[in-house]
Chains A and B, each alone.
Chain A
């Protein structure tokens, strides 16, 4: 519907242009607006391209996260992690495209176009990092891996374009990082519940400790952060509550039930919990 409207507008514009070409000599105002038309179109095109790349980044990052959730139920965790690694590398290439589009631009001018993708990427990258190293990936570490070496270009006409050393970087903004980390906590909660289901008794406690640190961090920032951060704080609290509850049950029931039966108790419990309490 919207598309057709745009088409119509374009046709309209062409009609007016045609009229101008054949009719009265184009006035100063018309010629000025023709320049504006080009400028606006160029900008909108770039914006649309960025939205498209960002959507791809989001989809691939989500898939990586799903893949990482399988880590609890398979024997060979390392293989899954490596696969996730290579998936994330593909995502990085996409972000390289964003960086290329943004070359020489003010990144905040187009920030709205790609922020969802970047947040999802931060979520995936930090999730992988947590599973590997049991720690929070820092903003600097993420940014350090977003340096792209451009393939040698054929001798270009304008040497200014080549830039110094031909390297292209993309900087994740602190607020995108924060929002990505806030999303990460939801994934960690899911990881906790599913690892309980697999009879893994250590992971939930580690996770609850880690989540508590992040929670404290977010409270330290409080409402000085961007508006979206305070919205995510509520969800973060819920996730933390679920993980803490799980740890609590684990302690209480763990002392009653012989170790070898624990797995059975939790796998049936989590089957009850998961469907309605898991994140949507």
Chain B
């Protein structure tokens, strides 16, 4: 085979690769669009009026997750299933976002940490790598960490809205999450960087709880309920 032939073969491979990437990028764009819509719906829980409507907002978000499912189903058809990690970078960001959104919805509904299986179920994907398009563990953990900072915001805003018990519940939850993350031996990677931010969220929430207890607001709320 001549050098020219070899290079034109390689060129064929490279343009095929680019086509696949282009296809993936298009689907990922629509996914990002939907993810932003869900985020907008959920952001309104920070409004004082939104606190009463949390169940309704969650229901709306769940509806939008159905759209996500169809988008991801499309994404799955755009590349060979066993080459997940070859194109991982394209959807890594949006998948972390979606993991965060599902974790947030589940927290608002039940005040529990979403499991990996639940996220996978909400997004219509797999947990185990061998079964096809799956949720990478690090992406799931990154999503959980994004939720932690969202919850520290929620703690502040729930005080403003007059809900004095929620911050305490959030504080317990975040503390548990923090000790969970401390079990992990993280490498010096993006996940580690994000984890380093968790302590600030913990600190923030502790300050809120401190403010409440020093003014007797926490106790007052307990006796009312």
A and B part of one assembly: yes
A108, A111, A210 — which one has the most chain B CB atoms within 10 A of its CB?
A108
Q: Which residues of B contact A40 (CB under 8 A)?
A: 137-138, 184-186
| Contact, CB under 8 Å: B14 / A33 | no
Give Cα A34 to B187, complex, Å. Answer: 16
Known: A40-B185, A44-B185, A221-B10. A106 touches B82 (CB 8 A): yes
Known: A29-B176, A30-B180. A106 touches B185 (CB 8 A): no
- Chain A contact surface mostly: helix
Q: Contacts A106-B82, A108-B83 hold; do A16 and B10 have CB atoms under 8 A apart?
A: no
Is B11's CB under 8 angstroms from A221's CB? Answer: yes
Instruction: Report B103 CB to chain A, min CB distance, Å.
Output: 12
A contact residues around B14 at 8 Å (CB)? 174-175, 221, 224-225
Across the two chains, which residue of chain B brings its CB closest to A40?
Answer: B184
Q: Which chain A residues border B129 with CB–CB below 8 Å? A: 106
Q: Is the CB of A33 within 8 A of B184?
A: yes
Residue pair A9, B185 in contact (C-beta under 8 Å): yes
Residues of A within 8 A of B184 (CB): 13, 33, 36-37, 40
The distance in angstroms between the C-alpha atoms of A213 and B11, with both chains bound, is: 15
Secondary structure call for the B interface:
helix
Q: Is A262 an interface residue (CB 8 A)?
A: no
CA distance A174 to B6 in the complex (A): 11
Q: Does A99 contact B (CB under 8 A)?
A: no
Known interface pairs A106-B129, A221-B10; A16-B183 also in contact (CB < 8 Å): yes
Q: A214 at the A/B interface (Cβ < 8 Å)?
A: yes
**Interface members, chain A 1-18 (any B CB < 8 Å):** 2, 6, 9-10, 12-13, 16-17
| Nearest CB on A from B86, distance (A) | 4
A139→B3 CA distance, assembly (Å): 11
- The answer for the CA separation of A28 and B122 in the assembled complex, in Å, is 21
Docked pose: A29 CA to B187 CA in angstroms: 21
CB neighbours (8 Å) of A13 from chain B are 182-185
A138 to B13, CA, bound (A): 14
A260 CB, min distance to chain B CBs, angstroms: 35
Do B15 and A224 touch (CB < 8 A)? yes
Contact of B176 among A30, A111, A218 (CB under 8 A): A30
B110 at the interface (CB under 8 A from A): no
We find that the number of chain A residues with CB closer than 8 angstroms to chain B is 43
> Among B83, B141, B183, B187, which residue has its beta carbon within 8 angstroms of that of A17?
B183
Contact partners of A217 in chain B: CB under 8 A: 3-4, 6-7, 10
Task: From A27, A28, A39, give the contact of B137 (CB < 8 A).
Answer: A39
**Interchain CB contact under 8 A, A136 and B3:** yes
Q: Which residue in chain B gives the minimum CB-CB distance to A2? A: B188
Per-position contact with B for A216-227: 1 when CB-CB < 8 Å, else 0? 111011001100
Are A220's CB and B7's CB within 8 A? Answer: yes
Inter-chain CA distance A32–B180, complex, in Å, is 8
Q: Is the CB–CB distance between A29 and B86 below 8 Å?
A: no
A residues near B214, Cβ cutoff 8 Å: none
Is B115 an interface residue, CB under 8 A from the partner? Answer: yes
| Contact A136:B6 (CB < 8 A) given known A33-B180, A36-B141, A108-B85 | yes
Q: What are 21 A-B pairs with beta-carbon distances under 8 A?
A: A28-B113, A29-B176, A30-B176, A36-B141, A36-B184, A37-B183, A40-B185, A44-B187, A106-B83, A135-B3, A138-B1, A139-B6, A139-B9, A174-B10, A174-B13, A217-B6, A217-B7, A217-B10, A220-B7, A221-B14, A225-B14
Contacts from A to B (Cβ < 8 Å): 2, 6, 9-10, 12-13, 16-17, 27-30, 32-34, 36-37, 39-41, 44, 106, 108-109, 111, 135-136, 138-139, 174-175, 177-178, 210, 213-214, 216-218, 220-221, 224-225
B interface residues, Cβ below 8 angstroms from A: 1-4, 6-11, 13-15, 18, 82-86, 88, 113, 115, 129, 137-138, 141, 176-177, 179-188
